[in-house]
């Protein structure tokens, strides 16, 4: 907190918001002890790099795929309409 006392209040508030956001999204990483066992991907087209990284690392994947997705990128492909949320919710 010593360096934050030298900054203006506006900058301190902005840095605290950024720190809070990072803690929310990345705080659980410190508890990970090894590789993930399996990855579930809802929209393969939107999450383009995740299936490719899983293939490189040898992590099995389950993907909900639409007609515009590559079923060879996932170990288990579940055909579904990922454009509408009704099939996913039920």
pLDDT tens-place string over residues 33-61? 888 899 998 888 788 888 889 989 999 99
Q: Note whether 43 and 33 are within 8 A (CB).
A: no
Residue 46's pLDDT is 80
- pLDDT-derived band of residue 30, with 50, 70 and 90 as boundaries? confident
**In a shared domain, residues 7 and 39:** no
**In a shared domain, residues 48 and 83:** yes
Q: How far apart are the first and last CA of the chain?
A: 48
**In a shared domain, residues 25 and 49:** no
Domain count, the chain: 2
pTM of the model: 0.59
**In a shared domain, residues 50 and 81:** yes
Domain span at residue 8 reads 1-31
Residue 36's pLDDT is 84
**In a shared domain, residues 23 and 44:** no
- The distance from CA 90 to its chain's CA centroid, rounded to whole angstroms, is 22
**In a shared domain, residues 27 and 14:** yes
């Amino acid at each position: 907190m010593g360096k934050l006392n030298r900054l203006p209040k506006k900058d301190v508030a902005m840095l605290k918001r950024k720190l809070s956001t990072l803690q929310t999204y990345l705080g659980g990483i410190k508890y990970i002890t090894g590789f993930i066992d399996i990855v579930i991907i809802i929209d393969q087209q939107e999450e383009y790099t995740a299936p490719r990284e899983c293939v490189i690392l040898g992590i099995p994947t389950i993907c909900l795929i639409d007609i515009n997705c590559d079923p060879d990128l996932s170990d288990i492909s579940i055909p579904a309409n990922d454009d509408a949320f009704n099939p996913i919710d039920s």
